[in-house]
Amino acid sequence: MRIVFFTAALAGLLFSGCSEAQTQEASAGEKQEKSGKSGKKKGKKGKGAADIANLVETGKMNGVPESSGLALTGEAGTFYTHGDEGARPILFKVDASGRTLAELEVPVQGDDWESITRDPRGNLYIGDVGNNNNNRRDLVIYRVNPQNIQQVQEIKLKYPDQQDFPPARSEQNFDCEATLWHGGNVYLFTKDRGQQQTSKVYAVPDQPGSYTARLITKLAIPGEVTDAALSPDGRRLVLLARQEMFVLEGSNFEQALKATPRQISLKGAGQTEGAVFTDNNTLYISSEQGALYKYAF
């Protein structure tokens, strides 16, 4: 009986040991499998600005609160930018790395600065034309020369086709975050908050005064335009939007306005709000998050 009992006990111990070893092996296998899956998940890379063809991040504008526009200064490798709605009326001079070189306070009560553009004489045109609710009656473009920042001239404007303040939701296409100077006029490109289908193009003279803007054309843009830039030769027009841009090309600016927009994704670049050409094939872009990019055509 003792022999039988000992044999049975020994068999039980051997079986128990094998079962425990198998359990540990299976557990280790499960952990390894989970670890492998986890590692694969961690290794999955989301698309960022570094993945966008022809786009390179050149710097970070840590001193600028939500960059909302971009213009040349006349000095190579430097730009003017400014903050968004509610920010102090300050122009920031930055270099291509995003470093702040100077701050110029403009003596005005800014409401909603959304864009900035420059003419060949060095005058800057600051678009206080942000109109999120489509109900403003005090739209103005400030004309100022950085060499005499205290002397500010006003270009006041209204839209010829706006009758209601605000209009019906589907008709709310009187917000503007994009302007550019060309041929003695400041052009405004609207942000279609109602249907996100059309950017209306208006123009006003670049001289101080009060104007009813001229409606030039309507562009089929399936997005909300946040800035506009024109190449020095006038043949390439870029309408920036959030994480995308639309390119229109022609033999001149007037022909570019008739072109079919070509859409380029900027997904991963943040809320892109400012754009300016430094030459015919190089576009600089700023984002509200403070990034500064260079895009090569």
pLDDT of residue 206: 98
Q: Are 197 and 204 in contact (CB under 8 A)?
A: no
pLDDT of residue 136: 98
Beta strands in 20-161 (DSSP E): 55-60, 70-72, 78-81, 90-95, 100-105, 115-118, 124-128, 140-145, 148-158
* Domain coverage including residue 26: 1-44
Residues 175 and 34 in one domain: no
DSSP letter at 260 equals: P
Is residue 1 domain-shared with residue 77, that is, in the same domain?
no
Clarify whether residues 3 and 137 are in a common domain. Answer: no
Which of 44, 64, 79 corresponds to the end of one domain?
44
Q: Are 8 and 53 part of one and the same domain?
A: no
Bridge-based pairing state of the strands 225-230 and 236-241:
antiparallel
Same domain? For 144 and 183 the reply is: yes
* pLDDT score, position 111: 85
Question: Could you tell me the CATH number of the domain that includes residue 164?
Answer: 2.120.10.30
Mean pLDDT by 10 residues, the chain (297 residues): 39 40 41 40 55 96 95 98 90 98 94 96 98 97 97 98 98 98 98 97 98 98 97 98 96 98 97 98 97 98
Name the pTM for this structure: 0.84
What's the confidence (pLDDT) of residue 278? Answer: 98
Domain count within the chain? 2
> CA 172, CA 115: separation in Å to the nearest integer?
19
Q: CA–CA separation, 287 vs 182, rounded Å?
A: 24
Tokens, residue 91: 């122009």
296 vs 274: CA distance, rounded Å: 16
Please report, as a single letter, which amino acid is at residue 9: A
Give the pLDDT confidence score for residue 114 in this predicted structure.
Answer: 96
